[in-house]
């Protein structure tokens, strides 16, 4: 057994019956092994009368956090736990599951292996984006997948300019721009025509969404580059910025979005036989017979 793990935190997706069933199965199993189990406030969705703790407390007091849900649940957990450097293991009760890579069927066996020290350890970086209006910071947040500048609610393009490390790159009209981590290269960036980036690479990708000029192509840059996106003054649409598609903020002409690597990384735990390329084959249905 991995002797440094004494306290385990649990985060759940919602109050669906499959989530409740697997949560109860896992919770009971860990208690029989005499682990201290901390329950995130999200567990309250399951209508339990158990004692709950804040996400901050969960991160600082747990040596391992298990997320039961889909990729969206893990994205939320990853952003909130990065500061505490808490290892995260994902149980997949969602649909696609690029990040939550343990099936409910194998859940208890894999957790046993992890608690015995048999697992793969991985660090992945986050992005940080702040919105500036003049000299005032309006909002700032982090993203594990991507920062997206996009139209809010009408079919009209955005006029914006992009700078990398203070150097002007281009001015373009498009439906938006995806600034993605390698983790997010299988998300919105992929559906917008971006490349797959192996999660261990120190890189970020800028992928235009439906650019008016077809020669505007995705760009892969270093992870430590600083990106600035400026909403042009002649812009007549209402753009938004989103962080992992889970929080949004309305933008105005002249607003500047400053994007760079977050100071803290996400600490992921995978089963010992984790295979990134096998996940790509399964999720993207490569090599299927037509």
Task: Characterize the bridge pairing of strands 64-69 and 88-92.
Answer: parallel
Residue 206 token pair: 């800028």
CA terminus-to-terminus distance, the chain? 46
Nearest CA-CA partner of 256 in 130, 128, 126: 130
Task: Characterize the bridge pairing of strands 247-250 and 239-243.
Answer: antiparallel
Tracing tokens 């797959």 back to the chain, one arrives at 196
Nearest CA-CA partner of 23 in 4, 40, 3, 6: 40
Catalytically active residues are: 71
Task: Report the run of H or E that residue 12 belongs to, with start and end.
Answer: strand 7-12
């Amino acid at each position: 057994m991995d002797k440094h793990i004494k306290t385990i935190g649990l985060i759940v997706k919602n109050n669906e019956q499959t989530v409740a069933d697997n949560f109860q199965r896992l919770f009971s199993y860990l208690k029989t092994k005499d682990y201290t189990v901390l329950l995130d406030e999200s567990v309250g969705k399951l209508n339990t009368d158990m004692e709950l703790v804040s996400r901050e407390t969960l991160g600082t007091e747990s040596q391992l956090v298990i997320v039961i849900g889909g990729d969206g649940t893990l994205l939320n957990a990853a952003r909130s736990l990065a500061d505490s450097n808490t290892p995260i293991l994902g149980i997949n009760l969602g649909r696609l599951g690029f990040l939550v890579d343990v099936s409910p069927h194998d859940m208890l066996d894999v957790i046993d292996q992890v608690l015995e020290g048999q697992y793969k350890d991985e660090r992945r970086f986050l992005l940080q984006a702040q919105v500036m209006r003049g000299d005032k910071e309006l909002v700032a947040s982090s993203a594990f997948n991507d920062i997206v500048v996009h139209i809010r609610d009408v079919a009209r393009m955005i006029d914006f300019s992009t700078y990398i490390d203070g150097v002007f790159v281009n001015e373009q009209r498009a439906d938006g721009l995806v600034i993605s981590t390698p983790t997010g290269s299988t998300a919105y960036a992929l559906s917008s025509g971006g490349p797959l980036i192996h999660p261990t690479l120190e890189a970020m990708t800028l992928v235009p969404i439906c650019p008016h000029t077809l020669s505007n192509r995705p760009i892969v840059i270093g992870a430590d580059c600083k990106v600035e996106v400026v909403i042009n003054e002649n812009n007549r649409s209402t753009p938004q910025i989103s962080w992992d598609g889970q929080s949004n903020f309305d933008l105005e002409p002249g607003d500047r979005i400053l994007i760079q690597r977050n100071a803290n990384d996400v600490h992921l735990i995978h089963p010992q036989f984790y295979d990134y390329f096998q996940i790509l084959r399964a999720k993207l249905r490569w090599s299927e017979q037509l």
